[in-house]
Amino acid sequence: MNQFDTLYFQKYLGKDDELLFVCHRHPILVIDKIMLWCFFGGVLPIFFYLQNTFSFYDFVSTGWFELYLVWVYFFIIYHVFDWYNDVWVITNHGIIDITWNIFSGSTNYLAYDSVHGIEVKSNSFFDSILKKGDIYIHLPTENTEFFLPDASDPQSIVEYIHAVIQEIEERNHHPEEPVDDRAPFELLLDTLTEMVKEHLEKKVHVEPIMAEKEDIDHALRYASTVDLR
């Protein structure tokens, strides 16, 4: 997954969601449309216009023809955006199905615990060669499913989804131990302190000195001057 995908689709994530992978439709879909529109909508009309074929100059002015080319350009850009934004966003909590068009769009969310099966269908022999196919995720409700048509490398996408679901299930059955968030130096210092403390408790045994009250009073009363130098 490239950095642009990570930044662009971040807006569709929830507060605790982590973006793991973005599943695009096969690029041959948009490449095919770009080539057709560039050739039949751009190259041929320009050639015929410059050659004045069918007397184009008589009924189409240069301004209108340039406006037509601008329209073709934006139409191609629209198809590129349509392809790029029709995706599945795989997160650590579920799958987000994004459908986009210039006027409206839709976003559907699927939690992993609702997945009851994943199916891949190839519509032709060329789909297998191009690694293109339809992905269906079956849901508990009858006749309902998540659908990503003409996905790019669908087998890898399905394997990735299975791996994420399996990792989440293992994490739920075997929760991680709490992580000590102390700094490494502080953790090392505390460990050494405990080791030294245990060593001293085992090796050193100090007998308490007990004295009678009368002896203490006598020592204090007749004690000589102590040279502290």
Asked whether residue 211 is assigned to any structural domain, the reply reads yes
β-pair partners for 84 = none
β-pair partners for 135: 120, 148
Assigned domain for 103 exists: no
Asked if residue 47 belongs to a domain, the reply is no
Number of domains the chain contains: 1
Residue 206 counted as domain residue = yes
pTM of the model: 0.67
Classify residue 195: in a domain, yes or no: yes
Q: Is residue 196 part of a domain?
A: yes
Q: Which residues constitute the domain of residue 188?
A: 184-221
Tell me whether residue 33 is in a domain.
Answer: no
Show pLDDT as tens, one digit a residue, over the chain (229 residues): 678 888 889 888 888 889 999 999 999 999 999 999 999 999 999 998 888 887 877 888 888 999 999 999 999 999 999 999 999 999 998 999 998 877 777 888 999 988 888 989 988 888 889 899 999 998 887 666 788 899 999 999 999 999 998 888 888 777 665 555 556 656 666 676 777 666 666 655 544 444 454 554 554 455 455 444 4
The pair of structure tokens assigned to 148 is: 């990503």
Could you tell me if residue 37 is inside a domain?
no
